[in-house]
Amino acid sequence: MRGGLRTSAQTAITRAVHDHPGVTRAEVAAQIGIPSGFAAETVGRLVATRLVSERPALATGRRGRPTTSLHAHPDGPLVAVAAITHDTWQVAAVELGGTKVAATQRPHHRNQARVLDAVTAELGQVSRRFGTRVRAAAVAVPGTVAGSELVHAPGLAWHSIDLSALWPHYEPGGEFVAGNDASLAGVAESRHGAGAGAGAMVYLHLDAGLGGTLIEAGRAVRGATGTAGEFGHMPFGEPARRCRCGARGCWNTSVDGRALARLLHQRVPADDVSYSRRVLASARAGQPRALSAIRTVGSSIGRGIAGLVNGLDPHLVVVGGLGSDLLHIAADEVTAAYHDGLMAFRATPPPPVLPARLGTDGPLLGAAAEAFARLLTDEGLQAWVS
């Protein structure tokens, strides 16, 4: 019994350090409800097993035993993570608490074989450099992911890719996670960003289309095949318009780069994420036609957020990717359409709609969070200690 208690206290403290690096030993003891002597003893064990490091905490003026602040151990466990976007890839080793200890980022030209080879090589490099400190791996990609298969990435025109091939140590059922970039960015925002501490949160991410996730009680709702959060494929668009997913009427067809090109009477862009980014920049600079197109898209986003809030009942909505920029530029249109579409009883006051805080690192940090979730269990930590 004592051994079980000790194990779960170790896991609880390690998780607390992961969620709030720099937390004091006294705060953790209070948070998980253990006596300070037992906390000091357990932290000592975590330091000895290279999970956590301890530093003297600043004096608080309180009496009693001086406390310490708790951090990732410099030789502690790491996760190897990769994030592929429509025009870059990044590979990093991330320590407890979500800090990158090594990272490589490169631009790419959407050549599938070259990008996958480069990411595989870099993940192999991280594995060789850090050896057994690397306990899990995770990959974020801009497309629909079921299990470890990238079903379709519309912005890259990639289909049916087995992402487990990217991790040299992959074993079925092992410590490897693949996920949609938008959903993973939502996981990261709920842990370390704009949604930290919120109960139920809808995260909406605008990139090649709209994606995201519903977070409840700290966990992403995944659905039957793990593909929940494809919000851009809800039929909030024009009913007759065909989406790249095969369905008609998807919300994406009203908000993506192609939609902007239609509004601006321009040709269908080859790279619609870069195109959207350019239109946003023109709108920010006050170019009237770009501004008008962005405002139209803003209304559609606001209306859709109302639909999500009516249907899912979150405490708050966080908007990321190109969406945080759009939220800023078309604030009035987003807000007006959001309030118009809300059920009256939800409007007093409406759940806040906030911009994401983690910027372009969201998907990578979300991948790290999912990989650490595999590690920060009683079993995962036992395996590290032994």
- Min dist CB 305 to Zn ion, Å, is 18
CB of 252 to Zn ion, least distance (A): 6
What does the per-residue mask of binding to Zn ion show for 210-249, with x meaning CB under 5 A? -----------------------x---------x-x-x--
- State which residue, 123 or 250, has the beta carbon closest to Zn ion: 250
DSSP 24: B
Q: What is the largest CA-CA distance in the chain?
A: 71
CB of 178 to Zn ion, least distance (A): 21
Tell me the residue type at 287: Q
What string marks each residue from 168 to 207 as x (binds Zn ion by CB under 5 A) or -? ----------------------------------------
Q: How far is the CB of 235 from Zn ion (least distance, A)?
A: 9
Q: Least distance (Å) from Zn ion to the CB of residue 237?
A: 8
Please, which residue, 125 or 227, has the CB nearer to Zn ion? 227
State the nearest-atom distance from the C-beta of 205 to Zn ion, in Å: 15
Look-up of token digits 């790419």: 108
Given a contact cutoff of 8 angstroms between Cβ atoms, the answer to whether 10 and 18 are in contact is: no
Question: 67 vs 253, which CB is nearer to Zn ion?
Answer: 253
DSSP 69-122: EEEE-TT--EEEEEEE-SSEEEEEEEETTS-EEEEEEEE----HHHHHHHHHHH
Distance CA 183, CA 230 (A): 9
Closer to Zn ion at the Cβ: 26 or 243?
243
Instruction: Write each residue from 102 to 131 as x if it is in contact with Zn ion (CB under 5 A), else as -, in one continuous string.
Output: ------------------------------
Residue 203: strand, helix, or coil: strand
Smallest gap from residue 100 Cβ to Zn ion (A): 34
Which of residues 82 and 250 has its CB atom nearest to Zn ion in the complex?
250
For Zn ion, the closer of residues 4 and 246 by Cβ is 246
Nearest alpha carbon to residue 119 among 99, 136, 105, 98: 105
Within the chain, strands assigned E span 52-56, 68-72, 78-84, 88-95, 100-107, 134-141, 144-146, 149-153, 158-162, 176-180, 200-206, 210-216, 219-220, 316-321, 353-355
The residue among 124 and 307 lying less far from Zn ion, judged by its C-beta, is 307
| Rounded CA separation 209/199 (Å) | 26
Q: How many residues bind Zn ion (CB under 5 A)?
A: 5
Q: Do residues 203 and 185 make contact, with C-beta atoms less than 8 angstroms apart?
A: yes
- Restricting to residues 285-314, name those near Zn ion by CB under 5 A: none
Nearer to Zn ion, 196 or 245 (CB): 245
Question: Residue 155 CB, nearest distance to Zn ion (Å)?
Answer: 13
Cα–Cα nearest to 73, from 100, 102, 38, 49: 49
Q: How far is CA 384 from CA 38, 291, 379, in A?
A: 21, 54, 9
Q: Which is nearer to Zn ion, 101 or 247 (CB)?
A: 247
Where in 248-287 is the site for Zn ion (CB under 5 A)? 250
One-letter amino acid of 52: V
Question: Is the CB of 98 or the CB of 209 nearer to Zn ion?
Answer: 209
Q: Which of 86, 88, 166, 158 has the alpha carbon at shortest distance from 121?
A: 166
In the complex, the smallest distance separating the C-beta of residue 332 from Zn ion, rounded to whole angstroms, is 28
Q: Rounded to 5 degrees, what are φ and ψ at 214?
A: -105, 120
- Closest separation in Å from C-beta 96 to Zn ion: 38
Contact 108, 141 (CB under 8 A): no
Residues in contact with Zn ion by CB under 5 A are 233, 243, 245, 247, 250
